[in-house]
Chains A and B, each alone.
Chain A
Amino acid sequence: MVQARNDFLRKFFLVFIFVFHSQLAFSQANLYNFAFTSMQNMLSGKEQISFKKAIFLTENAFSDTPLDTTQFNKQIRLLITLCKGFHQTNPLANYSQKDKATVALWGAVFKVMTDTVTILLPNGEKAYHLPFTYDFEDYFGEQNWTKMFVIKLLATKKGNCHSLPYLYKILCEELGVSANLALAPNHIYIKHRAEKTGWYNTELTSAAFPIDAWLMASGYIHLSAIQNSVYMKALTDQESIALCLVDLAEGYKRKTNGQDTDFILKCCNTALQYFPNCVNALIVKAETLKQIFEKTQNKQTFNEVQDLYLQIHDLGYRQMPKEMYLNWLMELRTEKDKYLNKNLIEGQNKK
């Protein structure tokens, strides 16, 4: 009897463990599916587009422990308050065009993110908000994918060309002004259009306003890539969500060691439906299909892979080695005279 009870207990325990474990795995897949559906709805117009939500869903799905929405929102709100305060106390000089208020808000977000902001406390003491800085370690998130995350940026105050522009876009949108992401090889930056200067670039990793020539000087942007709007185009909000879908796929790939290819392909195909020249999606898709081909040796898959690589090449994509990337990024700090937008800097100095 005792023996039987023990057996039962053991079985129960085993079952319990099994159920608990599968539930965990199940919940992870669930989170991914939930994130995918939500973003798909945003793209098809069933749900309102929210870049902040898309980012949160993507990062939450990857994370082992569920992320705290309230905490995330609280951190964003704090930054918003800071931006608003900065905006009120530092009016924009030398700018008379109609979009003055918008430009001033962009400036405030930029300052809060890239510079030390002094806050005068009610008791007369001073507090400081320190800028977000560039994380030179594992900046492509190869060892640790969470290096790319906005959550990680908020927690450590260090980020890369992925998390910094994303946070910037979130802050701008929370403040009610737009911000466009733009792509370069292995890189994301911000584009704004002001009445006075036309389109201009905001680079958060170096806290600068580079001219387009800097991006082209990377040497890995082929003319046809610009003509085909693969790179350096101000992305629409829809295209930005499509970009998040590719991030979602990348995260899923790492999470599952590339076992479940269906979900990855589903993400890529949906992204491509709304952003046909999204080279990142094309590359992930091609890599995944290549993986399938290696297993199945299916001729049709092989042709599909070949067509994709051809399309990627025709669009003007050229792979940029990792070392080149950092050199190029740092050129912005060493060759200021050559690459900084003089129109904007003169305005700043006059201030």
Chain B
Amino acid sequence: MKKALLILLIFSTITQLFGQIPSFQKPQPATLGTYSNVVTFPTQKQNGFSQPNQNNVLQNMLWQQQQQIHLQNQRLINQATHHQQQGTLPQDVLDDIAEFENPKYSSIAEAYNSLNYKFPTVTKKGTNFYESAFQKFSSMLSGKEPLNLKRAVFLVENSYYENTMPYQEFDETLRNIAGLISLKMKQDKMPNNQLAKNLAIYQFMADTFKVKIPHKENQVFTHYPFKYDFEDYRGEKDYRKMFVSKLLLQHSGQCHSMPLLYLLLADELGAKAWLSYSPNHSFIKFMVNGRLQNYETTNGHFTTDAFALSSGFIKAEALANKVYLDTLSKKQLIAHCLMDLALGYEHKYGYNEFSLKCAKLALKHHPQNITALMVKANYYNALLGYVAKQSREKRLPNIQFGDVPQVYELYQKVKQAQQELDDSGFAEMPQEAYQNWLKGIQKETEKSKQTFQNIQQSLWKK
């Protein structure tokens, strides 16, 4: 009777989960007003500002990066000029223009001193949930609290949903699935060992999974395999695509959420399995007869290290530094989730000190964490871009990096972060190459089937 209740509970919680999580919305692009009157804008030379020269790295970088902002500014100024001609411009705007044309700074250093060298603090709704999640991560990693993957995954997703996701239901769903898997193991008379547990999780995730419902004759619960979600698989448009809750609700996920679900279920069942990275990708490793076997969660294949290497984007240095193909420890796995938290924040609120804080903490516990190294490098890059943007907006004179200490310091940080990333052996893998590589797995279907059969046989031999 208890078990029947359990099944019922699953259905009820799944629907409840549906109700609790806000429905998915497509983000709307910001729209720009249209401007009818086009007035020729005085060129930079006429304005008394020299063209960006080859030697000025800061202005040059900006010249490329900030084209759009420049255009927008141009439009605004066009409009202002138009107003000016008609004598309708308010005094403060006129003052600003005068300041632009005759800068009142006595020296370049002073001018650059007036800029912001930190991103403005985000005060938007919901950031406090991220802060408190960070605190929890921090105490988990420092050992004050036990390392708990389920908690960590929940923190990441709940912070994004602004504390509207019920933990209890997330927890219950996972426990119920684990209950089904152990039920299946008993019904199939599988031995109660590590390998059997891993195979059972595999069956649940990648195969049609049937369990007889206890005490109800001829009633069978069927679970179909999770599907790969090809659309926006990097979560660039909608970060929720990365979430385990999304995988559970929509029954489709990608190479981030699927391995996490596997590990969550493994935790529930007490099975040992590890997360492992390859470029832009993560997958599962578990022990088969004393050797590590790779399991590709996105398509249910049993793969080899050679397959991962065949992408062509793994450098020997990355392997020697254990960036790729190595197994992640429990602590490193929590650091992995911490970086998910940082990325979620970035998607919601843009670059901020928060990303850096997360990256630094993750690197403390997992110095080769490639995501953290990238987030750090991106952060400093964006900050330099932000400073460059301010200098452009204020029309400050051109400088070399070395002229202003603050800029120089920032530039050094950008270089250092880039260097760390390079030293790790990281190589950028284009999206297209990634897709082709993942598709290439289809050629290995036969090999994978053979591996699976071998594993199964070894299970029953024992």
Contact = CB atoms under 8 A, between A and B. Distances in A.
Asked if A and B bind, the verdict is: yes
Interface of A: 182, 198-199, 211-213, 215-217, 219, 223, 226-229, 231-233, 338
B319 interface: yes
B312 A199 contact: no
Contacts of A219: 306
A227 B319 contact: yes
B403 interface: no
Contact of A231 (B306, B311, B316, B325): B316
A219 to B, nearest CB: 8
B184 to A, nearest CB: 33
A223 B305 CA distance: 8
Contact of A233 (B309, B316, B322, B325): B316
Interface residues of B, number: 18
Contacts of B344: none
A213 B316 contact: no
A229 B425 CA distance: 13
A229 B318 CA distance: 11
B310 A215 contact: no
Contacts of A231: 316
Interface of B: 305-306, 309-312, 314-317, 319-320, 322, 325-326, 422, 425, 427
A213 B320 contact: no
A115 to B, nearest CB: 26
A229 B314 contact: no
B390 to A, nearest CB: 27
Given A198-B422, A198-B427, A227-B326, A212 B320 contact: no
A239 B2 CA distance: 67
Contacts of A232: 316, 319-320
Contact of A227 (B306, B310, B320): B320
16 contacts: A198-B425, A199-B425, A212-B309, A212-B312, A212-B315, A213-B310, A213-B314, A217-B310, A219-B306, A223-B325, A226-B319, A227-B320, A227-B322, A231-B316, A233-B317, A233-B320
A211 B315 CA distance: 8
A228 B321 CA distance: 9
B309 A216 contact: yes
B314 A212 contact: yes
A216 B306 contact: yes
B312 A213 contact: yes
B444 to A, nearest CB: 15
Nearest to A184: B316
A223 B319 contact: yes
A213 B309 contact: yes
A213 B324 CA distance: 14
A198 B425 CA distance: 8
A196 to B, nearest CB: 11
Contacts of A182: 316
Nearest to B311: A213
Contacts of A213: 309-312, 314
A232 B311 CA distance: 17
Nearest to B433: A342
A212 B310 contact: no
Nearest to A231: B316
A213 B316 CA distance: 9
A314 B306 CA distance: 19
A223 B320 CA distance: 9
